[in-house]
């Protein structure tokens, strides 16, 4: 078995004793104290839940097939809530479950995650009455796949954990329902094809949808019921409440193809609430460097609109694509530049030798041009571009705290979730989430 070292983590687990007895701020009683009777607190045992879950991880695919099979056989009415193809859902559900299990003794992280999940489930039509059936099927699955790790004590620990999960999600959904709808109906009021595979849509929600420049929403097309996909809002909040989206059609992609090729003004879409943390830094008067690749322009443009409208600090926008034709919003950006004295636009093309502007990859051009140490930096685009931009900025001495981007969705990661880690000779092994390990 390979050996690993543990990263210092916000969990605070750095040594053997700390692993065995969680560090301050990360204690099970804190979780339990927030909710539940003393009896439930006694039963909530993260260690037992983690150990039995380790038996399920290697057979996650089978376990999820069993879980949903069992859920739908016992409760056929629940099937209609889910999309026809369940593979994506199975993966995402298992990753979410793993995250819950791994943060059971970390109340802050667990609570934030469950509250967000609970709110998100409103748009799927999930209500409190669905939870008991769901949790029954989940408990039966864990029992089936825990093998020799199963015992009455383990059963009680899972029961308490799932009870905590259900109550946290239901409460967050109830609280959210007091001030926001489960989803918004939105009329498509504009649909411009900017290239063979890219459309700019403008939609008008049926009631106010609050958001901050830089955030994204989830969208469902009537062509693909129950398939939600995220799209960034490409404008700062407007008086008329309309939102603009930049959508690239992915070959074989369900929702993007529907939005680019089969949507016209007058159509209705469903929208979920705004999410995302890449928003304008309140109180900062630093100049901005904005780096946008492809449709990563959308949230960056919203941020620029907001800062430029407030007559704020200077903004440099590096906007890149492979070819000139890929700069699908160039005309509109030039208009914005003409009306915003604080904005300087730099266009960058990587794969078109005759192009008159900057040539190369965005991170390289940024490095060549750059004295960016004093800027707030906003980046959006393909994941590899964001990673390279991060590396260049670190080289240039820009503090990481000034770099703003949306974290990749952890529920999409395809790496194995955890591994056994030897933390002391000769015999002590613990299970540890892979993203907390340095090789």
Of 4 and 124, nearer to ligand HEM (C-beta) is 124
User: Where does this chain touch ligand HEM (CB under 6 A) — which range of 43-51, 130-138, 198-206, 322-330?
Assistant: 130-138
Name 198's Cβ contacts closer than 8 Å, sequence gap at least 6.
246, 247, 248, 249, 260, 295, 328
96 binds, among ligand HEM, ligand FAD, none (CB under 5 to 8 A by kind): ligand HEM
Task: Give, as ranges, the residues between 259 and 318 that touch ligand FAD (CB under 6 A).
Answer: 295, 298
Residue 286's CB is within 10 A of a number of other CB atoms, namely 14
Q: Which one-letter DSSP state was computed for residue 233?
A: B
Sole binder of ligand HEM in the list 4, 66, 93, 150 (CB under 6 A)? 93
The DSSP-derived string for 348-402 is EESS-TT-SSEES-HHHHHHHH---TTSEEEEESSHHHHHHHHHHHHHTT--GGG
CA-nearest of 114, 223, 214 to 173 is 114
Of 158 and 231, nearer to ligand FAD (C-beta) is 231
Of 122 and 375, nearer to ligand HEM (C-beta) is 122
CA-nearest of 338, 295, 348 to 317 is 348
The DSSP-derived string for 409-431 is -GGG--S--EEEEEEETTTEEEE
Work out whether 215 is an interface residue with ligand FAD (CB under 6 A). Answer: no
User: Where does this chain touch ligand HEM (CB under 6 A) — which range of 30-38, 79-87, 187-195, 234-242?
Assistant: 79-87
Work out whether 96 is an interface residue with ligand HEM (CB under 6 A). Answer: yes
Task: Give, as ranges, the residues between 225 and 254 that touch ligand HEM (CB under 6 A).
Answer: 226, 228
Residue 201 to residue 231: CA distance in whole angstroms: 11
Sole binder of ligand FAD in the list 247, 274, 292, 345 (CB under 6 A)? 247
Of 132 and 399, nearer to ligand HEM (C-beta) is 132
256 SS3 class: helix
Work out whether 191 is an interface residue with ligand FAD (CB under 6 A). Answer: no
- Unique residue bearing structure tokens 């160039």: 330
Q: To the nearest whole angstrom, how small is the minimum distance from the Cβ of residue 333 to ligand HEM?
A: 31
131 binds, among ligand HEM, ligand FAD, none (CB under 5 to 8 A by kind): ligand HEM
Q: Give the count of residues interacting with ligand FAD (CB under 6 A).
A: 19
The DSSP-derived string for 66-116 is HHHHHHHHH-GGGGGGS-S--HHHHHHHHHHHHHHHHTTT-HHHHHHHHHH
Sign for the CA dihedral angle at 78, 81, 86, 92 comes to negative
Work out whether 220 is an interface residue with ligand FAD (CB under 6 A). Answer: no
180 binds, among ligand FAD, ligand HEM, none (CB under 5 to 8 A by kind): none
CA max distance for the chain: 73
Residues interacting with ligand FAD, by CB under 6 A?
216, 229-232, 246-248, 250, 252-257, 295, 298, 406, 409
Residues interacting with ligand HEM, by CB under 6 A?
78, 81-83, 89, 92-93, 96-97, 100, 117, 120-121, 124, 126, 130-131, 134, 165, 226, 228, 411
């Amino acid at each position: 078995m390979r050996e690993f070292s543990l990263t210092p983590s916000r969990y605070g687990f750095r040594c053997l004793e700390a692993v065995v007895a969680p560090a301050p701020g990360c204690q099970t009683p804190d979780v339990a104290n927030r909710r539940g009777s003393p009896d439930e607190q006694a039963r909530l045992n993260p260690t037992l839940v983690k150990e039995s879950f380790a038996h399920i991880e290697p057979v996650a695919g089978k376990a999820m097939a069993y879980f949903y099979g069992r859920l739908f056989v016992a409760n056929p009415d629940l099937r209609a809530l889910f999309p026809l193809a369940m593979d994506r859902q199975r993966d995402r559900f298992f990753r979410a479950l793993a995250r819950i299990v791994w943060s059971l003794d970390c109340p802050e992280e667990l609570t934030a995650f469950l509250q967000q999940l609970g709110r998100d489930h409103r748009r799927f039509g999930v209500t409190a009455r669905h939870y008991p059936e769901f949790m029954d099927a989940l408990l039966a699955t864990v029992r089936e796949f825990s093998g020799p790790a199963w015992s009455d004590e383990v059963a009680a620990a899972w029961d308490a954990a799932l009870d905590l999960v259900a109550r946290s999600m239901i409460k967050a959904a109830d609280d959210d329902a007091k001030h926001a709808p489960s989803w918004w109906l939105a009329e498509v009021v504009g649909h411009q094809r900017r290239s063979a595979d890219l459309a700019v849509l403008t939609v008008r929600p049926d009631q106010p949808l609050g958001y901050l420049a830089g955030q994204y929403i989830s969208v469902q097309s009537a062509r693909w019921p129950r398939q939600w996909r995220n799209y960034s809002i490409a404008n700062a909040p407007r008086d008329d409440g309309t939102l603009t989206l930049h959508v690239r059609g992915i070959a074989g992609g369900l929702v993007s193809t529907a939005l680019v090729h089969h949507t016209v003004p007058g159509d209705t879409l469903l929208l979920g609430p705004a999410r995302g943390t890449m928003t304008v830094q309140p109180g900062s008067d630093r100049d901005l460097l904005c780096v946008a690749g492809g449709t990563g322009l959308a949230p960056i443009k919203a941020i620029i609109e907001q800062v430029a409208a407030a007559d704020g600090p200077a903004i440099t926008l590096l906007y890149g694509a492979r070819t000139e034709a890929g700069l699908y919003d160039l005309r509109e950006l030039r208009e914005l530049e003409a009306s915003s004295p604080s904005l300087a636009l730099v266009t960058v093309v990587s794969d078109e030798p005759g192009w008159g502007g900057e040539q190369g990859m965005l991170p390289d051009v940024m490095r060549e041009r750059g004295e960016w140490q004093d800027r707030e930096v906003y980046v959006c685009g393909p994941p590899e571009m964001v990673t390279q931009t991060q590396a260049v900025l670190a080289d240039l001495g820009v503090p990481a705290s000034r770099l703003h981007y949306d974290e990749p969705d952890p529920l999409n990661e395809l790496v194995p979730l955890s591994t056994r880690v030897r933390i002391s000779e000769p015999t002590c092994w613990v299970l540890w989430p892979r993203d907390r390990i340095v090789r």
